[in-house]
Structure 1
Amino acid sequence: MSLRNGNSTLPTKFMASIDSYDDASIVMAGVPMDFTCSFRPGTRFGPQKIREVSIGIEEYSVYMDRDLTQCSFFDAGDLDLPFGDVDKSLKLIGDVAEEILSDNKFPLFIGGEHLISVPVIKKVYEKYGPELIVVQFDAHADLREGYLGCPNSHASAVRRLIDFMPGKNIYQFGIRSGTKDEFEYAKKHTNMYTIDVFEPLSRVLDDIKDKPIYITLDIDVVDPAYANGTGTPEPGGISSRELLDSIHLFKGANLVGFDIVEVSPHYDQSDRTALLAAKIIREIIMMVG
């Protein structure tokens, strides 16, 4: 697909998206991929559902006292992926991320499963180098070496990051699920903060906010009571309010990329999961745009 033209087959775009790729400082791309989902599939439908419900929230943010119309962002639509071909899809995602970054625009990706973050973050790391910090919001550690013998799995997304970047540059928040081996691995190789998000993030942010920061947000960090539309719901999570408060802590930080993943709309007839994702995206756009 041509990023400049976007994907004209989509029925709708994220609210307030401008019509010009060249004039945008932020480029949004959807990645409808759920090839390795280990429990309930369906995240391939997440990007378009998030766009669809975005019209249900206001363009104005009372948190930021800004309006989306003040921001120059372009929704390039969904990537056309070769269905079932994980390796080729990951390469295509990486190529798109590289194009956005080479044009000095902020990459904002909507998944899709968490594995889609890996090629994006790899390209961001190639641009910003060993100073790059990755902040992960998630219920799951995602630190398995592989799942059912497959190293490229959404259950191994963060472990794959450590193939090319220092694990100690990765900060994990809200983690409440994983194997014992994953938690032991995290003690040695990453910075993991279990269960909570806002309080530990508040403590560490001063040390990292001036470095380039990429945020990868798995919607299942939120308790299923607030976001049940996800493939691997995990009880005991944070509220939608705590997630929004945590995102707002990054105001003034050096954000260089963002993705939100694992919204699976078919499990949520209320659309509250997609609505929360849309609201978070709105806040990120206003924060960096």
Structure 2
Amino acid sequence: MSFYPLPYLERKAVFMGSSESLEGCEKVIIGIPMDLTTSFRPGTRLAPFRIREVSEGIEEYSIYQDKSLEDIKFYDAGDIIIPYGNVEESLRRIEEVTGELLKKGKKVFALGGEHLVSLPLIKAYKKFYPDLVVIQFDAHADLRSSYLGESLSHATVMRRVVEIIGTGNLYQLGIRSGTREEMEYATLNTNLYLNQLSSVVAEVKKSVGRRKVYITLDIDVLDPAFAPGTGTPEAGGFSSRELLEVLLELKDLDIAGFDLVEISPPYEQNDNTSLLGAKILREVLLAY
């Protein structure tokens, strides 16, 4: 079914503390249960539902910020209905829903899904914010020109993003995997911080300045010890504590939108990664 007042939306589970109505809420959660181009271990389509389910297992109050979800108004609008097997139509729907929310003056917090879902989200944002910059947290560069013969893929998503937002407007943090061609492309077109996270936050903030920022967070930026539930785990990553600290350090930037992608519930035990996803979402809702 389509969930009023937006197209292509249905509610199956709700993040803790959500308001009952979209009206009066600046911040809006949307789920994007899509993993159509996942090339190793599928399952990210299950993440939006599971993150919402396990959110009841954490507190609404954040000890890091001395704030609670009870102190803010946000709305969980549900999941975008994905026509499985049709990548182009799925991306079109994501962009349309995001655009409608932006027209209403909302700030989108999206739960993927594979990383390709970030492309239509950022396309919609770029139309509203011409000076948009993107900060990417990720283990993988995702800068391939094509992957398995496809230009639209979780492995090409940030290459497509650069083509939209322009050279020099993508900041890539935590990257520790990529091809030689990707590294050469990044040298010319992005701000690449190989295997660096907290140590470069001050530099990134100074460079970004007061421009509008979109943050895309691939959970595999973390070491698999902290986030085993992901489709393409990459050893040698960062801790969940360090990531949470960095996300809060960025809160004084002009952050316009956020997505969390690549959590894959089938590959975790005890919901550890989904619980972490719920905690991340709580913190960014309160901070951004």
TM-score normalised according to structure 1 size: 0.96
Give distance in 2, aligned partners of 1:3 and 1:239.
39
After TM superposition, give the deviation of residue 202 of structure 1 in Å: 2.5
After TM superposition, give the deviation of residue 9 of structure 1 in Å: 5.0
- Give the unaligned 5+ runs of structure 1: none
After TM superposition, give the deviation of residue 70 of structure 1 in Å: 1.1
After TM superposition, give the deviation of residue 5 of structure 1 in Å: 7.3
Residue 29 (1) aligns with residue 30 (2): yes
- Give the match for residue 226 of structure 1: 226
After TM superposition, give the deviation of residue 179 of structure 1 in Å: 0.6
- Counterpart residue type for residue 193 of structure 1: Y
Deviations 1:208-242 (A, max 9, x none): 14211100000000000000000000000000011
Q: Structure 1 residues 236, 180: CA separation in 2 closer, same or farther (over 3 Å shift)?
A: same
Partner SS, residue 178 of structure 1: coil
- Give the match for residue 70 of structure 1: 71
Deviations 1:51-109 (A, max 9, x none): 01111111000111101011111001111111110000000000000011000100111
- Give the match for residue 176 of structure 2: 176
- Give the unaligned 5+ runs of structure 2: none
Pairs within 5 Å for 1:42-53? 42-53=43-54
Give distance in 1, aligned partners of 2:89 and 2:264.
23
Give distance in 2, aligned partners of 1:103 and 1:8.
19
Give distance in 1, aligned partners of 2:182 and 2:201.
21
- Give the match for residue 16 of structure 1: 17
Deviations 1:143-196 (A, max 9, x none): 001101100000001001122221310000000011111011100100000112
After TM superposition, give the deviation of residue 3 of structure 1 in Å: 5.1
Give distance in 2, aligned partners of 1:24 and 1:160.
31
After TM superposition, give the deviation of residue 287 of structure 1 in Å: 1.2
- Give the match for residue 166 of structure 1: 166
8 Å Cα contact 1:107/1:257 also seen in 2: yes
- Give the match for residue 144 of structure 1: 144
Residue 115 (1) aligns with residue 116 (2): yes
- Give the match for residue 271 of structure 1: 271
- Give the match for residue 213 of structure 1: 213
Residue 255 (1) aligns with residue 255 (2): yes
8 Å Cα contact 1:4/1:22 also seen in 2: no
Q: Aligned pairs, how many?
A: 286
Q: Structure 1 residues 5, 126: CA separation in 2 closer, same or farther (over 3 Å shift)?
A: closer
Report sequence identity in percent: 48
After TM superposition, give the deviation of residue 271 of structure 1 in Å: 1.1
TM-score normalised according to structure 2 size: 0.96
8 Å Cα contact 1:14/1:75 also seen in 2: yes
Give distance in 2, aligned partners of 1:233 and 1:3.
37
Give distance in 2, aligned partners of 1:66 and 1:209.
26
- Give the match for residue 42 of structure 2: 41
Q: Structure 1 residues 221, 206: CA separation in 2 closer, same or farther (over 3 Å shift)?
A: same
